[in-house]
Amino acid sequence: MSPFTGSAQRTAPWRHLEVREEDGVTTVTLARPAKLNALTFEAYADLRDLLAELSHRERPRALVLAGEGRGFCSGGDVDEIIGATLGMDTARLLDFNRMTGQVVRAVREAPFPVVAAVHGVAAGAGAVLALAADFRVADPTARFAFLFTKVGLSGGDMGAAYLLPRVVGLGHATRILMLGEPVRAPEAERIGLLSQVVDEGETQRAARDLARRLADGPALAHAQTKALLTAELDLPLAGAVELDAATQALLMHGEDYKEFHAAFTAKRPPVWRGR
C-alpha cells in the first residue's frame, strides 16, 4: 500500500452495504431487497465513505455496483428520506443534497472503472447512480426512471442534468428529466444509456465478467482514461490535447508501457501490473 494514499484504517464491516473483494474486483451490493434497495441517509453516507476509502487505500482495479433482489435501486426511501426532509430547515436540506451529490462525484472521480449491474428498476437516485458509472450492463427487465419532477423537484438532481446530456444528448435528456417517464432497456440501449444488454438473470455475471476483464488490464491506463474523459468534458480542444500529451508522457515512464514492448518482442501476452 502506498504511504501517500491515506492514513485511515479500513472500515469493516459496512453496515448498510454488502462489500466483497476478490482479486482486484470489489462488488458493492445494495441489500434492502424488501424495499427494492431504497436508499436511506445511512446508505448514502456509506456509499460516499466507501468509495473515498477505496480510492485512498489499496485500490481495486474495478468495481461492480449491484442491487439484491428484484431490482437495482428504487431511489431514496419515501418514508425515511422524503418524509424526514419535510421537517428539515434549509441548512440541513442543503447538507443532505450535497451529500447525495458527493456520492455521484465519488463514483465519477474514483481512480478505477465502475460497472453498474442493472436489473429491474433503477429509479430516482438509483438511476443517477447507474448513470454515474463508467459502464451500465442491463438485462431486458431494466428500466430507468429519473422521477425527480414527479415529486415536485428539479430533474437536475445529483448531477443528472450534467451527466445525462453527455451520455444520451440534450434532446433525450430534456425529455427524460422533464417528464420522468421510464426508459426501458430497448430504448436505453438505442439512445446510448446502456453499454451492454444481456439475457435476463445474467446481469451480475456479465458485469463481473466485464469488471474482471478491466481488472486484468492495465489499471493505471484505465484510471487515466477515466480521469481524462471526465476532465475533458468542459475543456476546449487545445486544453484537452495538452492534457492528453502530458498524461501520455507520464504513462510512457510506466512499467506497463515497457511491459507491452517486452511482451510484443517476446511474442507473449503482456502481464499488466497497473504501474
- Residues 84-96 pLDDT 10s: 999 999 999 999 9
Residue 94: CB partners within 8 Å, gap ≥ 6?
Answer: none
- The closest alpha carbon to 51, from 127, 120, 110, 122, belongs to 110
pLDDT in tens, 229-240: 999 999 999 999
Report pLDDT for 241: 96
* Residue showing cell 434497495: 37
pLDDT in tens, 16-73: 899 999 999 999 999 999 999 999 999 999 999 999 999 887 689 999 999 999 999 9
Confidence of residue 6 (pLDDT cuts 50, 70, 90): low
Report pLDDT for 250: 93
Q: What span, in angstroms and rounded, lies between the C-alpha atoms of 209 and 171?
A: 33
Whether the pLDDT of residue 215 is over 50: the answer is yes
Whether the pLDDT of residue 184 is over 50: the answer is yes
Percentage of the chain lying above the pLDDT 90 cut: 89
Whether the pLDDT of residue 7 is over 60: the answer is no
Annotated domain spans of the chain: 18-215, 219-266
Report pLDDT for 15: 85
Helices (H), the chain: 41-56, 84-85, 90-109, 125-132, 160-168, 170-179, 185-190, 203-215, 219-231, 237-251, 255-266
pLDDT in tens, 93-147: 999 999 999 999 999 999 999 999 999 999 999 999 999 999 999 999 999 999 9
* CA 255 to each of CA 4, 109, 224: distance values in angstroms, whole numbers, following the listed order: 20, 24, 15
Report pLDDT for 8: 57
Considering the four listed CATH numbers 1.10.3720.10, 3.40.50.720, 3.40.50.2300, 3.90.226.10, the one that applies to the domain covering 18-215 is: 3.90.226.10
Q: Compute the residue count for the chain.
A: 275
What average pLDDT does the segment 8-14 reach? 70
Whether the pLDDT of residue 267 is over 90: the answer is yes
Report pLDDT for 1: 46
Report pLDDT for 89: 95
Average pLDDT along the chain? 93
**What is the gyration radius of the CA atoms in the chain, in angstroms?**
19
Whether the pLDDT of residue 2 is over 70: the answer is no
Report pLDDT for 74: 96
Report pLDDT for 197: 97
